[in-house]
A and B are shown apart, each in its own frame.
Chain A
């Protein structure tokens, strides 16, 4: 081995270490910021706590837990609409988290509009149930593992001459194949769910919902801040929204905050 290749080897060995170290200091920095935000929350200084959590999000990092904590700080600061927004964001990343669901329900009970949700189609409920069993990351890992098992089982089936082993490997491969396709589809659904931009929280104190996307449209109903709406269509800076009870109308994008 000559000196040149030695040098390349050294760089190759050092690079991951440098990377790991920088990731570590990154994590340390965040841990410090998080503890400061938590401290402010404990002291009842909620605006300071909000600022600290938001500074972490502004630096490009987030998690469901972080959104949840920020929602809590907003709630304590009596900013219900913002707390609902962040609880909704947390609920997407942590679909089964009991605390997130509880706090979101509590925050919703403080909003003015009480909307009775229509009963969704049972199949949709089932699919959502299965989708929310795992996070997108977990679905991805399940997908990879099941692919490995499927292909491994197929290999054993194809290459072994022993008939009992062949039968079992075929069986396992088929189950894994089923898992592969279900995790693939549920993972795609989950990814769509967390990256969707067609749901929003109303941020204006009260908004008149119009029948058409212009100021001249006739007034349909009044919504108040904190209400969750689904965006169905858009035209300029107007958005067609639908409520949980099926009512539809047009409002301006400036009245909304996308989840």
Chain B
């Protein structure tokens, strides 16, 4: 027994040596000097305020003057030191705490100033704390959190009761949302919070709402480490946020969030009628009670995003955003990649943002963008970036037009559009690959970049009455009838004229022979009477008259030449015309020189008859 003790002493020596060696590394870890106090207490309640230091102090603590509370006990100091060896590396931790037990007397908010302490010739200061004191409620049961106990720690003898107790006002859960009206896509923060005035032994099965109609995103929260005091309608509760979500409504209308339910085991003091000796000695006996806690359903009104004045490129972004575009280099080389980065930051449905449309020059090869989302701790905002990899294939200077990003501002309730500056890129010939220079380039067929309708027709659109059809209209028939009427009128007028004209000519033509034969008969009687002068006159008249009637020329206008022309025009043989005219000359001559001999009357008479007959035949042939 002794030897073992001796050996144990020997074992301590290297441990102490090691602790001494490790000392500097502990110092290097950074000094933390913090204060821990409840934020809300009620009048008459006892509570603790503790300053904690994670290093060995070189001086005593200087606590602030505490005037608003009465100090019941303190300061009590406690030290905690621990060593641990991880993978052969020794670490040591040291904690020093100074605790006061205080009691509040009056309501109001009071501030406990900062405490000071020296570590290694350096002064450290704690933050001041403000403590709200409220009027005490009827129940004077101690608030579990005030003792700094974690809910699962229970040292009292446990006896589970099988019957479940209905939840009461001392323990309940709530589903808290930061807003009750929202637009689709607008983030809503949801806290599921536990409120308790009882000692909580443990938490059982929890049933979370399904959040139908929302897109749900979990938010990481630090593990529950003790309850936080909170004033609810004048009663101090220990509270803990069990779970945090960010919801994005997916449709408009009133959406109800189902209740949250939680099984909770609490510890209650059992009030026995006979308080025995042991009760006092071991503390009050405690009973565990299982409670089923259920929150009230929460209603969220989701408003419609107005459809009027919606920008054409709008793609569902709701919130407040900022946009930045940048290219990693503005002087590029052909076939070398560059990156266009579009960063949209702000609060709203960041995760659901779609990439804004960009019209890249057709000479550049563009790959599908890579997107990256970084949400902030609360989950309601952050940044989303889109990286486009572009590879220019042609030299020249190009312009990436301004990027438009329309979004709906849920605070002002209007659409807003972010526009970036256009980015100009200068592309020079790079190594490798073919570079085409204008002029010597092989001809390419026109690349179809997009399909769109042809543009409006401009200028005078030749408007006319909607039912007006020219074809078959009154004006149309008017013109057609006009044509027919003009035709008919012209025809009638011309026909009448021709008729009149042709009648006279026909009559004369028909009469010609009659007149001629009449005159020749007369001439014959003169021939018998041997009246030469009268005979020749009649024969001459018969021949001239015949020509006048036949050719439809007035006797006054008829001369030897005109008669000859007219006859030849009518196609009478020239010899016949000549002999006809010769006979007429002979008659004229004989009329004025009757004594001339060698001309027998009968020969002239016969000649005249035969010539008139021949001309008659010639003209007849012509007409037929």
Contacts and interface: CB of A to CB of B under 8 A. Distances in A.
Given A63-B461, A75-B453, A159-B494, A151 B483 contact: yes
A65 to B, nearest CB: 4
Contacts of A102: 453-454
Given A151-B486, A154-B487, A136 B464 contact: no
Contact of A151 (B312, B453, B484, B494): B484
A195 B491 CA distance: 39
Interface stretch (A6-14, A30-38, A118-126, A230-238): A30-38
B487 A151 contact: yes
A140 B475 CA distance: 10
A190 B464 contact: no
Interface of A is mostly: helix
A69 interface: yes
A191 B455 CA distance: 28
Interface in A40-67: 41, 44, 56-57, 60-63, 65-66
B464 A62 contact: yes
A38 B453 CA distance: 15
Given A107-B453, A144-B476, A65 B471 contact: no
B463 A30 contact: yes
Contacts of A154: 487
Nearest to B454: A99
Interface string B413-451: 000000000000000000000000000000000000001
A62 B468 CA distance: 10
Interface size of A as a range: 35 or more
Given A69-B456, A103-B453, A158-B491, A140 B476 contact: yes
Contacts of B480: 143-144, 147
A29 to B, nearest CB: 10
Contacts of B483: 144, 147-148, 151
Contacts of A65: 457, 461-462
B487 to A, nearest CB: 4
Given A68-B457, A159-B494, A195 B469 contact: yes
Contacts of B484: 147, 151
Contacts of A60: 465-466
B413 to A, nearest CB: 20
B230 to A, nearest CB: 53
Contacts of B494: 155, 158-159
B479 interface: yes
Given A69-B457, A99-B454, A99-B457, A191 B491 contact: no
A194 interface: yes
A155 B476 contact: no
A187 interface: yes
A72 interface: yes
A75 B491 CA distance: 59
Contact of A191 (B312, B465, B471): B471
B472 interface: yes
Given A56-B463, A61-B463, A103-B453, A191 B472 contact: yes
Contacts of B596: none
A44 B457 contact: no
Interface string B470-509: 1111001001100110110011001000100000000000
B451 to A, nearest CB: 6
A139 interface: yes
Given A31-B460, A151-B486, A158-B491, A103 B471 contact: no
Given A61-B464, A154-B487, A155-B487, A194 B456 contact: no
Nearest to A37: B456
A137 interface: yes
B541 to A, nearest CB: 32
Contacts of B498: 159
A220 interface: no
B421 to A, nearest CB: 21
A154 B491 CA distance: 10
B457 A61 contact: no
A20 interface: no
A127 interface: no
A106 interface: yes
B461 A38 contact: no
B456 A72 contact: yes
A188 interface: yes
B461 A66 contact: yes
A66 B463 contact: yes
16 contacts: A38-B456, A56-B463, A61-B465, A65-B462, A99-B457, A107-B453, A136-B471, A137-B470, A137-B471, A143-B476, A144-B476, A151-B486, A155-B491, A159-B490, A159-B494, A194-B469
Given A140-B476, A152-B487, A191-B471, 4 more contacts: A57-B466, A62-B464, A62-B466, A69-B461
Interface of A: 27, 30-31, 34, 38, 41, 44, 56-57, 60-63, 65-66, 68-69, 72, 75-76, 99, 102-103, 106-107, 136-137, 139-141, 143-144, 147-148, 151-152, 154-155, 158-159, 187-188, 190-191, 194-195
**Which 3 residue pairs of A and B lie closest in terms of their CB atoms, listed nearest first?**
A151-B487, A65-B461, A140-B471
